Structure 1
C-alpha cells in the first residue's frame, strides 16, 4: 500500500468526467490510498456505476468562502502556523496581482482549509486539472511542505496564461514534481513551458474495456435505411453542436435521419431554439445527462457517432474525448473533426472521418457516409482494432502509479 495522497478535483462526482473516475478506481485497485478533496459539490443528479466502485473518502472544501466563514477563518489561523505559509502567501499575492479575480481569492481560502485539514499521514497532493484545482493543491502543498503533481487535460492547458503554467512547472520546491497529460498535443505545449520537460508525462486515459460490453453484431445497415445519429458531449461552445444543427438542416430531403444528443450544459435552450427555428426539432431527441449504461445503450442502437469539436473563442478545446473511444468500443462509425488531439486516435478515412469545421462540410460528410454503409463499417472495425491495440487503460495507469508512488515516497 502506498502512502496517502490528497486528490484535488473540481467537483465530485461529475457525469462528464468518467475519465477521472476510471483513473481513480484503477489507482485504488493498484494499491494507492487517497482522499478526494472536491472544490465543488455535485450538480448532476445521476452517477455512473463506476463512481460506486470507489472507496476513497470524499471531502468537500467550502465552494464559496462566505458559505462557511467559521471553517475558513479557523483554517486560516491554523494555516498561518504552518512552516510554508509565508511562502505560499507571497506566491498567491503575486498571482493575485496578475489575476485580480474573486476566483483567485477563493483558491487561497480553499487552500488554507485543505492545508489545515489534511490528515497527518498525507505524503503528497495530486490535482486533476492544471487551473483552479492545481492552484489550490500548490498553495496547500507549499504551506505543508509536501510535494504536489497534476494531471492536465484540455481547457486547463489552453485557457490558463503561460506565466501561470510556467510557474507551476518551475524547477524549484514550489513547482509540480511531475505533470501528466492525456494527449501528445497537450504534452508538447506543457513541455514548451516547463523548466524541465522531463517532468511532463504523456499518459493517455485509454479505456477500461472491462466496463463495456462486446460490440453488437448488427446486420449491416442498408443505404436506404433511416440514419440514426448520436452525440455525447456537454452543450458548450467547444463541442460545436450549433454547427451540427446547421448541418442537419442542410441534409437532403431524400435522407431519413434522426439525431439523439446526450449531455447537459448552458447552451441547451439556445440550441433547442436553433433546431426549432431550422424546422428540424421533430428529428432530434435531447436526452440530457445520462449514466454510462444509458450512453452505451444509445451507442449500440445508432449508425453514426458525431462529435463536431472546435476551438472556442476563449481558446478552450477538447483534448482527446473519451467518448470517441467509447463509440469505437461499440463498433460505432465516427464523424468528428481534426481539432486538438483527435487525430492521435482517428486517422481520416481509416478509423473514422475528420470533417472540416463547417455546417456544409458536416452535411456533405453525413450524406456521403449514409450512402456507403460498407465503408463506415470498415472504419468502425479499424477504430475498434486500434482501441484494443493502443488505447486501453492499463499502460497509462501503470505509468501514473509509478509516478505517484515516487511522489509519496520522496524518491
Structure 2
C-alpha cells in the first residue's frame, strides 16, 4: 500500500505513537509518506535518513506567493474555497496549507489511502474530497483533545462534512467512540484502535517490594490535564502518615505548568524530594522508569476542556512492570484495571492519590502484583507490533471495499 499520513508536527516528542505507526507500516513493507504542517522544534537524531526523506513540511516548501496563487486557482476553480478558507483561517493554518499543489503531485495523488491524526486537522483537509477526480479513502485517528474541545465547537453541519469526508474514524478508546457518537458520527464509521508501545524497548525489570523507599515517577508534558500538582500535594500527607518512608519523586517533562509545580513543591517544603528532569531522550526515560517502583499520573479534565486519550506514558510504565496510580479519567480505565493492574481514584482527589500511595507502602507485595499484571495487560492489548498489524488489516480492507 501507498499510505500518506497527514499530521501537525513530525516527529514530535510527545507523539511517539505516530512515529511508531509510520515505522511499523514501513517495516511491514508499505510505502509511507508524511505530510506535516510544521517541523518540531527538537530534532530527532535517532531517526534514520530514510524516514526524514519521506516527510514534506508544508511551511517550508517553495515560494509562498507562488504557492498562494496556485492554491487559490485550484480551490476557487473547483468551488471549494469557502470550506478551505473557513477551516484554514479558523485553525490558523492557511499559510501551511498553501503547499496544496506540491502535496497533491508528490504525495496524495500516489497514495492508496490517507491517514490523518486528529479530527481538527482532518477538517482542514476536508475540501480535498470535493475536488473532481480526487476521491481517496480518508481514515481519521481521534485522540482526545480534538473530540473534547474542537468538534463540539463546530456546527452540526460542519461536523457532518467531516463525517462525509471520513471513510473511517479510529478513536483511541471506547470512551471517545461514545463521545463521537454523541456528536452525530454514524457508528458504522467508527472503530476503536488503541495506540501502543514497544514492549521490547520498555521491558519488564524485576521489582522488589517497597522497603522504606517510595520512588515515584511521572513522565508527561507539564500541563493542567496531567494533574502533577495533585501528586505534589499528596506527598506531605503520605509523609505525615509514614514519617519513616523516604520519598523521591522524579518528574520528566516540561511545559507551561512547570514553574507553578516547582513553587508548589517549595511551598510544601518537599523541593529536595522532587527532581525536575525536563525533557529527556527515550533511553534516559527508560533508565528513570527502571529506577522507580510507582508511576503517578493524576490526569483530569482541564479548565479549558482538554482531556487525555489513553496516555502512552502510562503504557510505557506498565510495560516496565511499574505499579501505576492514576484516575478514572477518559480512556484510562480501559488500560488500567483498578485493583488489578493499577490503582485509580477520582479526578482532583488529593486524598485519594495519597491513600493509594499509602496502600502501596502498607502492602508492599501489591506493588509487585500490580506491576506484573500491568505488564501482562500491555503485552496483550497495547503491543504496538500487534496494533500495527491490526492497522494494516484495517487499511487494506478499506482500500478493497472503497468506492
TM-score under structure 1 normalisation? 0.86
CA distance in 2 between counterparts of 1:165 and 1:327 reads: 39
Structure 1, residues 347-375: CA drift from partner, whole Å, max 9, x if none?
11111100233222212221221222101
User: Quick check: 1:75–1:117 contact (8 Å CA) kept in 2?
Assistant: no
Indicate if the aligned counterparts of 1:15 and 1:48 stay in contact, CA closer than 8 A: no
Q: Give the 5 Å matches for 1:236-255.
A: 236-253=223-240, 254=243, 255=245
Structure 1 residues 154 and 247: CA distance shift in structure 2, 3 A: same
Correspondence for 2:125 among 114, 121, 137: 137
CA distance in 2 between counterparts of 1:329 and 1:168 reads 40
Of 13, 16, 34, which residue of structure 1 is paired with 2:14?
16
Q: Which residue of 1 aligns with 2:177?
A: 187
Partner of residue 201 from structure 1, selected from 191, 196, 202: 191
Number of positions where the alignment pairs a residue of Structure 1 with one of Structure 2: 393
CA contact (8 A) 2:218 2:252 kept: yes
Q: Tell me, in whole angstroms, the C-alpha distance in 1 between the residues paired with 2:335 and 2:163.
A: 36
Partner deviation per Cα, 1:40-70 (whole Å, 9 max, x = no partner): 221235x38467784651121128xxxx9x7
The alignment's C-alpha RMSD in Å is 2.8
Q: CA offsets, 1:255-309, max 9 Å, x none?
A: 3101001111111122112212221111111111112111111111101110010
- 2:140 aligned counterpart, secondary structure: strand
Residue 137 of structure 1 and its aligned partner are, at CA, apart by 2.8
Change (3 A) 1:51 1:364: farther
- The yes-or-no answer on 1:306 pairing with 2:293 is no
Are 2:92 and 1:57 aligned? Answer: no
In structure 1, distance between residues paired with 2:383 and 2:48? 19
Mapped partners of 1:200, 1:48: distance in 2: 36
CA distance 1:202–1:52, change in 2 (3 Å): farther
Contact 1:216–1:330 (Cα < 8 Å) also in 2: yes
Q: Structure 1: state its 5+ residue gaps.
A: 97-101
Q: 1:112 is matched with which residue: 94, 98, 120? A: 98
**8 Å contact kept, 1:232–1:323:** yes
* Bigger shift: residues 387-396 or 270-279: 387-396
Deviation at 1:72, TM superposition (A): 3.2
Distance change (3 Å), C-alpha of 1:324 and 1:244: same
Which of 382-391 and 80-89 deviates more? 80-89
Distance in 2 (alpha carbons) for counterparts of 1:382 and 1:138:
42
SS of equivalent to 2:150: coil
Query: Compared with structure 1, are the counterparts of its residues 51 and 116 closer, same or farther at alpha carbon in structure 2 (3 Å cutoff)?
Result: closer
Task: Compute the displacement of 1:16 (Å).
Answer: 1.0
Of 372, 394, 398, the match for 1:381: 372
Contact kept? 2:341, 2:373, Cα under 8 Å: yes
Q: Distance in 1 between matches of 2:52 and 2:119?
A: 25
Query: Partners in 2 of 1:260 and 1:42 — Cα distance?
Result: 25
**Whole-Å separation in 2 of the counterparts to 1:40 and 1:209:** 30
Matched, 1:217 2:203: no
Alignment counterpart, residue 79 of structure 1, candidates 68, 71, 79: 71
Q: Distance in 2 between matches of 1:182 and 1:242?
A: 26
1:75-119 residue CA offsets vs partner (Å, 9 max, x unmatched): 2322344378544312245558xxxxx553x33443331344431
Correspondence 1:358 to 2:344: no
SS of 2:251's partner is: strand
Partner Cα separation in structure 1 for residue 84 and residue 100 of structure 2: 15
Match of 1:344 in 2: 334
Distance in 1 (CA, whole Å) between partners of 2:298 and 2:49 is: 31
Does residue 261 (structure 1) correspond to residue 248 (structure 2)? The answer is no
Q: Which residue of 1 aligns with 2:81?
A: 89
Match of 1:367 in 2: 358
| 1:161 equivalent in structure 2 | 151
Deviation digits for residues 163-200 of structure 1 (CA, Å, limit 9, x no counterpart): 64865764799511111121111111123334532111
For residue 279 of structure 1, give the secondary structure of its aligned residue in structure 2.
Answer: coil
Hey, what's the Cα distance between the residues in 1 that align with 2:49 and 2:195?
A: 20
The within-5 A match list for 1:273-312 is 273-312=263-302
Q: Does 1:401 align with 2:392?
A: yes
Instruction: Provide the rounded CA distance (Å) in 1 between the counterparts of 2:338 and 2:258.
Output: 30
Question: Which deviates further from its counterpart, 187-196 or 353-362?
Answer: 187-196
